[in-house]
Each structure stands twice: as structure tokens, then as C-alpha cells.
Structure 1
Amino acid sequence: MTPPSSKIALVTGGSRGLGKNMALSLARQGTDVILTYHSKQDEAAATVAEITALGRKAAALQLNTAAVKSFEAFYTQVSAALRDTFGAEGFDFLINNAGTGVHAPFAETQEADFDELFNIHFKGVFFLTQKALPLLRDGGRIINISSGLARFSNPGYSAYASMKGAVEVFTRYLAKELGGRGIAANVVAPGAIETDFGGGAVRDNPQVNAYLAGATALGRVGLPDDIGGVVAFLCTEEARWINGQRLEVSGGMNL
């Protein structure tokens, strides 16, 4: 098979929000993209169109990152997309971005919400990465998305932040255990970002926005454009010696 003309990234939750920004940032630097979406196929198709308009190849696949038993069938679809759309047998970058938010005081957190966060943000990330190993090329990169909330504490996020803390430890183990294949693994931890995540409170609630901006050294909350380029940078040759690290991208929150 003819080698692909560019690197290929798999971005989970890549149809909207931060994931979309990551996918577009990767495309702008010459990377082809497979993105996943949970339910909004129209948004995924629109993102694929934006990527192809940039001159890169793209495909969108449906995935529920909480449904671990579906991962084997998902990677069968990935293999088919690699072959049919990209003329390739593997991909280079895995960005575990897909997520959801639950805001509840510790004393009121429900087991069902805890399980959902666990399945999406930790168990799903763990096993989706494990199942990716046969297709992830040697010398590739794994980037896991965490949160500033794994470093500082805001009431109402105990379960969510705990899952992100687990992902940060997991990433260091990936870096250690996959180093023999030349695969680097790192964490990007955004601060407060204006998206629809968690109901869009940071974006849509002026009081919340102002409070968080006041806690940030650069005096504002983040935008998706503040994050995607950092993820794309970690997939460049210049970032080859960054491994097992947590890079917080928060504008200096709660310093």
C-alpha cells in the first residue's frame, strides 16, 4: 500500500467545541483527521467539510466513548476508513477529548452521574487507548485532555476532577510503557473555556464569566482557539521530546 501523504489524527468528540478546534488546528498544520461524534451527525459532517476545505482528508465516525464493548467494532470502522479515505493502515495521533460535565456538590452527587463520568472520562479513555495500539503507529503521540480542576478545587466538581486526576496518572504510565515504540503521551489541561460544555455557563453566564476571568492572570476566560493549537503543537516534530507531561492551558488560573 502506498504510504499516506500526511500524518493522521483520531480526535474523539471532534465535531464541536474544543474537539472541533483541535481537529481544525491539526488540519491547518497538514494533518488528516478522523473525528468522532456521539449523536450530532450534522455537526460532524460540517466539521469534515471544513477540514476538506483546508485541503486535508477527513472522516467522521459515531462513537459513544462510555460504551467500552463497542470499541472493537469501532476500530474495525477506523481500519476501513483508513483504507478507503486515507489509503493508510494506521494513524499517528490519538487525542482523547470526548467528555461531558456534571456539576453537583459532593454530598449530592448521584451514583449514576459518577458512573457516567467514570465511563466516559477514565474507563473509556483507558480502553479506547488500549484498543488503539495495533493501529497507532510507532513514533506516534497520545494526548489526553484533563482540566485545571485536577490542580485547583472548585466546589461541585469532585467526581469530574477525580476522573481527570486519574487520566493524568494514566498518561504517565502510557509514556513509560509505550516509550519503547517511540510513542509519547501527554496531558493538555484547559482552564475555563467559553463553549457549550456543562451547559455553557462559562460562555453564557456573565457573573460566572467575570468571576473566572478575575481568577485568571491574563484577565479573561479561555476560548477554543486558545486550546486547539496547543494540542496540534504536541503533534509536531518540534514537540518530540515532550513526554509524560501535564501542560495546563488556563491563562494562569488560581496561581
Structure 2
Amino acid sequence: MKVAIVTGASSGIGQGAAVAIAKRGVGVILTYGANRQGALDTVAAIEKEGGTAVALPLDVGETAGFPAFRASVVDALSGTWQRDTFDHLVNNAGFGQMSMFEDTTEELFDKFMRVLLKGPYFLTQTLLPLMADGAVVNVTSNSALSTGVEAGYSAYATMKGGLTVLTRYMAKEFSRRGIRVNAVAPGSTRTRISDDAFERFPEVIEPIEAKTAFGRVGEPEDIGMMIATLVSEESRWITAQSIEVSGGYGL
């Protein structure tokens, strides 16, 4: 059985990706930060469909913890799947926060950098020796594309843009091992991002729907199915691509 690691899968896009990947017969190691119960819910959803999943804690913004996480991955692979390698990595864990350019502090800028760019860079580096010939998917954002520029996301989008560039360089270097690397750039998606912003500020939903060609906000499953497709055999000839998954935002 193939095995995928999906970071930040206790809710939202990560949860949607973990469930969609598992439905294709792939085992899943999923990570969580503060929301352990959400991770257990994801495991339960996968097991309900007949799949296999293990939840592990991980702070993607603290690189010092990556060697211990790698050791936990080795244990999970051996204990659950009798393997010493895994096949796919989905770098999804992150956070979002609106902050106008003039109000953005160095502290917030550095946190975005640690979690959204430095974390995926060095987590992938740490786990790469354990990877078989599979696929990496980096979750970026359409805020880093010309179609999704909105005031208040300069620091967030800068890091996501960096991850888009990193995707191409990973694809170049990892191709020698037969590993494909792509990015998905979601538009506004109904997740718990920015401390449940959609729940706290429902008035933002209608303007987003008005800007989206399909007339609704994206759901985690919309993005999750695309991620599952990119790690599957169906996408074996696709690498170094950034795919916007936004329902036609800005069309």
C-alpha cells in the first residue's frame, strides 16, 4: 500500500486532502497542531471508509522538532504499514491573517515566513530520504497570483509566492529520483483559517461568491480532490506546475 503524509489535516483543506487520498486506497499519516480532536476526527472519517490513517503532532513553524517528527514517521510506517518509506507529501499546514502593509509587524512577517515557507522547505528536506518515487504537493494560494490580489495579504501572499517558486526548484532537483512536485493555489475556501473568519464574519461570503465564476465559496473537498489527483498515477506526467483551484475567482 502507498502512504502519503498530509500536514495540517485536522480541518479544512488538509482534512479534505487526507480523506480524498485515502479513498484512493492510500494510507495516510496526517499531522495536527493544537487541534488534536480534529485530527482524530479525520482518522475516524478515513477508517469509516475502510482506510488506514495515523495522526502525529507537528509544529511546522519549529524546525527544531523535525528530526523527532521524522522518527515518529519511521515508527508509524513500520508499525502500521510494515514499510520504511512513504510515497507522497502534501505540504498544507499553515495559517492566514489579514494585515495591511503599513500595519504588518516584523513578528507577524517572521511567523508567516517560518510557517508558510521555511517550514515546508526544511520539512521536505528532512523527510526526503524516506520518500519513494512519489509526489509532493505544496498548497499555495491564489493570493500570490495576479487573479487573487486583495489588499491586506502582502506578507502572507509573499510567502505563498515563494512556495510557488520553490515548487519549480524542487521539481527540477527531485526529478532525478522520479519524484514529481506541483502546487495547488486555492481561492477563498470555507475553512477555519484566520480563526474561523467565515464563521465570525459571514458578511464576507457574498462578495467572494460574486467574484467567483461558479457563484460560491470553495469547499475543502474541492481542493482535496485536486490534491488527490496530483499524487495519483493519473498525474504521472505532470510536474513543476502551479494549478489555481478557485472556481474561476476573478473571471
Give yes or no for the alignment of 1:53 onto 2:48: yes
SS at match of 1:229: helix
Structure 2 unaligned runs (5+)? none
What is the aligned length? Answer: 249
User: Aligned partners of 1:215, 1:40: CA distance in 2, in Å?
Assistant: 32
RMSD over aligned Cα, in angstroms? 1.1
Q: TM-score, normalised by structure 2?
A: 0.96
* Range moving further from structure 2, 150-159 or 200-209: 200-209
More deviation in 119-128 or 38-47?
38-47
Q: Which residue is 1:254 aligned to?
A: 250
Q: Are 1:34 and 1:61, in contact at CA under 8 Å, matched by a contact in 2?
A: yes
Distance, in Å, in 2 between the alignment partners of 1:83 and 1:159 is: 40
2-structure distance, mates of 1:41, 1:232: 23
For 1:29, give the aligned amino acid.
R
Name the residue aligned to 2:136.
Answer: 142
Gaps of 5+ in 1: 1-5
The AA in structure 2 aligned to 1:72 is P
- What residue in structure 2 maps to residue 98 of structure 1? 93
1 CA distance for matches of 2:15 and 2:92?
Answer: 10
Look up the match of 1:62: 57
Deviation at 1:204, TM superposition (A): 4.9
TM-score by length of 1: 0.95
Residue deviations 1:161-206 (CA, integer Å, cap 9, x gap): 0000000000000000010111000001100011221133345533
In structure 1, the residue matched to 2:149 is: 153
Partner Cα distance (2:215, 2:97) in 1: 26
* SS of corresponding position for 2:89: strand
Measure, in 1, the Cα distance between the counterparts of 2:239 and 2:220. 24
Q: Distance in 2 between matches of 1:188 and 1:76?
A: 28
CA displacement at 1:57 relative to structure 2: 1.5
Name the residue aligned to 2:19.
24
Offset of 1:114 from its aligned partner?
Answer: 0.8
Which structure: greater helix fraction?
A: 2
Which residue of 1 is the match for residue 170 of structure 2?
174
Q: Which of 202, 207, 218 matches 1:211?
A: 207
Consecutive aligned runs of 4 or more in structure 1 exceeding 6 Å deviation: none
- Aligned partners of 1:219, 1:49: CA distance in 2, in Å? 32
